[in-house]
Amino acid sequence: QVQLVQSGAEVKKPGSSVKVSCKASGGTFSNFAISWVRQAPGQGLEWMGGIIPIFGIANYAQKFQGRVTITTDQLTSTAYMELRSLRSEDTAVYYCARDLAAGFDFWGQGTLVIVSS
Amino acid sequence: EIVLTQSPGTLSLSPGERATLSCRASQSVSSSYLAWYQQKPGQAPRLLIYGASSRATGIPDRFSGSGSGTDFTLTISRLEPEDFAVYYCQQYNSSPPYTFGQGTKLEIK
């Protein structure tokens, strides 16, 4: 059974950066893609980007291009999402999810990021 | 970018009734790369349907998906109390971005 465990909640100042981790267990980490999805309070789901660890190539939603970087560490089976130049609108729960090109079948528990001065 | 529009925004039904949720794409979704998710308050989304009509592991058979091209439907044949939640469709075409619909809230009447 695949499990994705994310890092804890963060409070950040506007203009700063946040890096959220997502550690996978069960399954072969290199063989599946990881996507990052965020959800602002009371809002819907928004795909930010994804990566296939074995290739190390990330794709990003145009909205986040230049401000987000998704990476992986295959040694620790951990994916990371770094978002820079934070603003209040980035306050959201950030999820990682396993992407098998057949939907996102396993999700992390979510990481709340609050951006506030 | 493919835009997904879900309808209705809110659906009010009683347990035991049939629910029909719609998802329309702004352009054709190839090879039926369309998924449905259920999300309850404070929880991560749960995959229900992928490939437009295949149930994910452990999903009860009262959930079914259908459709192709630009029009897709999620049907819940007989609503159970635990089915009241928000439902999202998602397209994961051959290349990103993988967009979501805005969601349909299924509430108890």
Q: What is the pLDDT of residues A48-60, one digit of tens each?
A: 999 988 888 899 9
Segment B82-100 shows an average pLDDT of 90
Higher pLDDT, A30 or B55: B55
Spatial distance between the Cα atoms of A55 and B81, rounded to a whole number of angstroms: 43
Residues of A in contact with B99 (CB under 8 A): 47
* Residue B35 DSSP one-character state: E
CB contact under 8 A, B54 and A62: no
Higher pLDDT, B76 or B31: B76
- The residues in B 10-49 lying below 8 A from A, measured between CB atoms, are 33, 35, 37, 39, 44-47, 49
Spatial distance between the Cα atoms of B100 and B26, rounded to a whole number of angstroms: 12
Interface test with A, best of B31, B93, B98 (most A CBs within 10 A): B98
Residue whose C-alpha is closest to residue B37's, from A32, A103, A88, A40? A103
